[in-house]
Amino acid sequence: MTADSSPLLALELRPNASLGQRGMAWILGIVIAINVAVAVGFSLAGAWPVVAFCGLDVALIWWALSASMRVQRIETITVTAQELVWQELREGKAVQELRFPRSFVFARMTEDRYGAAQTLVLASAGKTYPIALGLGVGERRELGGMIERALRMRTGDSASPA
């Protein structure tokens, strides 16, 4: 990589999937054990239709946990000497990419009607593009500061924007 193409800032934003396969197996094991106990109890009492609902309960919890563990959206933000590149990869969709000349883009927080910080946007040519929707407000504010520092950094500077 030449000095002009090396990134001043390169970030990848992805959801935190803190529950692993082992944790999911433990949770499902506990849910299954509880549902089997409930199903057996109700079945012995003559309320056998409850067994089907217990099975449905386990299936829905398995589906919800599986869906939450999939990486559904990844955003990358790269600031080079010439431009800012934002990419979004969504499961099952084409890559969305925005490119801005570094001198004509800035990151700012929008506010709701009460003046509270709401969304981080990239603004250029009178248009705004929301980014980092998966982050909390404080994290968005911090990310916006990092992007702004990288955008304002002179290309000869070697200091990190973070």
Structure confidence by residue, pLDDT tens digits, 32-87: 999 999 999 999 999 989 999 999 999 999 999 888 777 678 899 999 989 999 99
Record the pTM: 0.65
Selected from 2.60.40, 3.30.1120, 2.30.29, 3.40.50, the CATH number assigned to the domain covering 9-14+72-152 reads 2.30.29
- Write the pLDDT tens digit of every residue in 126-143: 899 999 888 888 899 999
* Cβ atoms of residues 69 and 19 within 8 Å: yes
**Separation CA 111–CA 106 (nearest Å):** 16
Burial of 91: CB neighbours in 10 Å, binned 0-12, 13-18, 19+: exposed
- Residues 122-126, mean pLDDT to the nearest whole number: 91
Whether the predicted pLDDT of 162 surpasses 60: no
HEC readout, 46-89: CCCCHHHHHHHHHHHHHHHHHHHHCCCEEEEEEECCCEEEEEEE
Classify residue 102 by its DSSP letter.
G
Provide the residue ranges of all domains of the chain, joining segments of one domain with +.
Answer: 9-14+72-152, 21-69
